[in-house]
Structure 1
């Protein structure tokens, strides 16, 4: 994974569901845990969700907050 992939994942907007319109980094951890239990989609979005799940699981969310683009804060 390169730096741009991480920045893209942090700023990706959730395109559907209860949290539609939120950056993936701001999704609640229980929602990501639910996705993990059901299986992440087989797509770029699924890979990004899995990455953000790992970020939150390891307590790295606050470290990545500065990567959020201004319109996503």
Structure 2
């Protein structure tokens, strides 16, 4: 069974380090997620979040998060 709270946490999660530190994970550019896919995603929740965003973005499914963003009134931060 899928844990729906995972997507809610994904929508508000921020990148904790690197070039895109402080960005919402849902706003990370595809090329950055592709780099992680080639190098290996980190372990733990962050790795799960990054790999999920990689799958969402590379399959053109970004809009599946829109209802959650709207419900949570999350503004995607880009620096």
Same fold (TM over 0.5): yes
For the aligned residue pairs, the C-alpha RMSD in angstroms reads 1.4
Q: Equivalent residue of 1:72, what SS?
A: coil
TM-score using structure 1 length:
0.86
User: What residue number does 1:21 align with?
Assistant: 22
Matched-pair contact (CA < 8 Å) for 1:14–1:24: yes
The count of aligned residue pairs is: 73
| Partner of residue 72 from structure 1, selected from 60, 64, 75 | 75
CA distance in 2, matches of 1:35, 1:24: 13
Unaligned 5+ residue runs, structure 1? Answer: none
